[in-house]
Structure 1
Amino acid sequence: MTIESLKTKEELRNLIDAYAYLSDEKKISEVVALFTEDLVYKVYIGDFLAANLSGRENMKKDFNGHASEVKTYFTLNGQHTVQINGDTATGVSYSQIKMIRETEGKDVLSDYSVKYLDNYAFQNGKWLIQERIGYFVMTEVRPINN
């Protein structure tokens, strides 16, 4: 393993961590900037395709709409492995995502276990996400006490 490949792996890890941090803070414009202009973003919940977006403007609109319905996000990233091939790379990462929404005056926690399959591209001196497919493997929804 070369110093260059270690540096690239660290940059890619920082990229997916930035996605989590910025998403949790609802900084949608900054989240969208982590993607290439020609991005593809899909979410599967079981076999159901729940989101299928392309392009930054579509992502920004969709993410802003979703964020407006969520009181609090909390993301914890786990494993992240990548395969680097010059100015492109692929990756697999795992996350725990918690969301609090208000339903009928009560806070409801949605707890998601997610596997992401990513394609990355090195453009203009930085790594960006070109395609992200999220598989929501497990979901638990329950009311919480404040």
Structure 2
Amino acid sequence: MKKIILAFALMTLCLSVNAQKMNNDNKKIAAIEDRIALKNIVDTFSVLADVKDVKNQVLLFTENAEVSSVNNGQTGTTFIGRKQIGEAFAGFLNLFDVVYHINGQQTVTLNGNKASGISYCQVVLIGTENNKKMKTTMGVIYHDEYVKENGHWLINKRQSNFTWTEKTEMKP
């Protein structure tokens, strides 16, 4: 009888350890899926900017999201809500013939249905100024706060920090 009780206890212990391991594995997989989803938001934001699809770009933000900018250390305007954000993005993007984002590294901190992240990006803008074709290249660091709504990650707050800018005339 003692052997049966001991065997049962060992079997219960093994099942408990396996259940905990499966739970930890599920948490790890969920964290990986969240990190991939957050990287996808940043990349999709850039792709939509490049094709000037502001209508879909603003859907990456919460309804009452906040977007602000810092340019060479100077705080710029803050836009709140998809409508204001969309109008600002459209107005800016319409200044250029070509918009091209190159995304780099991203770090995120997950905290349940909230997360924060930093993403690096190089933006190239080509437009006409004073009848000259000009290329503006900028280094941008995005400081983002994300929320998960209805199973989907969205940007709730973004500070775009334009750390450097280089402008050159393009030769014909």
* The structure with more strand, counted as a fraction of residues: 1
Show the counterpart of 2:164: 138
Give SS of 1:70's match: coil
Percent identity of paired positions between Structure 1 and Structure 2: 29
TM-score by length of 2: 0.82
1:47-90 Cα distance to aligned partner (Å, 9 max, x none): 22233111111011111111211111000000001000010000
Task: After TM superposition, give the deviation of residue 107 of structure 1 in Å.
Answer: 0.9
Alignment RMSD, CA only? Answer: 1.0
Q: Gaps spanning 5+ residues in structure 2: where?
A: 1-26
Distance 1:93 1:64 in 2: 22
- The residue identity in structure 2 corresponding to 1:136 is F
The structure, 1 or 2, with the larger RCO (C-alpha pairs under 8 Å, 6+ apart) is 1
Return the alpha-carbon distance in structure 2 between the equivalents of residues 95 and 41 of structure 1. 16
Q: Secondary structure at the match of 1:2?
A: helix
What are the equivalent positions in structure 2 for 1:93-132 lying under 5 Å apart? 93-132=119-158
1-structure distance, mates of 2:158, 2:45: 11
Task: Measure the CA separation in 2 of the matches of 1:51 and 1:110.
Answer: 20
Secondary structure of the 2:96 match is: coil
SS in structure 1 at match of 2:64: strand
Higher Rg: 2
Summarize the alignment of residues 38-77 of structure 1 with structure 2, pairs less than 5 Å apart: 38-77=64-103
TM-score (normalised: structure 1)? 0.96
Whole-Å Cα distance in 2 between the matches of residues 5 and 136 of structure 1? 30
Report the secondary structure of 2:83's partner residue. helix
Letter of the 1:74 partner, please give it. Answer: Y
Residue 24 (structure 1) aligns with: 50
Deviation at 1:136, TM superposition (A): 0.7
> Unmatched 5+ residue regions in structure 1?
none
Asked if the contact 2:73/2:163 (under 8 Å) is kept, the reply is: no
Structure 1 stretches of 4+ moved >4 Å? none
Are 2:124 and 2:137, in contact at CA under 8 Å, matched by a contact in 1?
yes
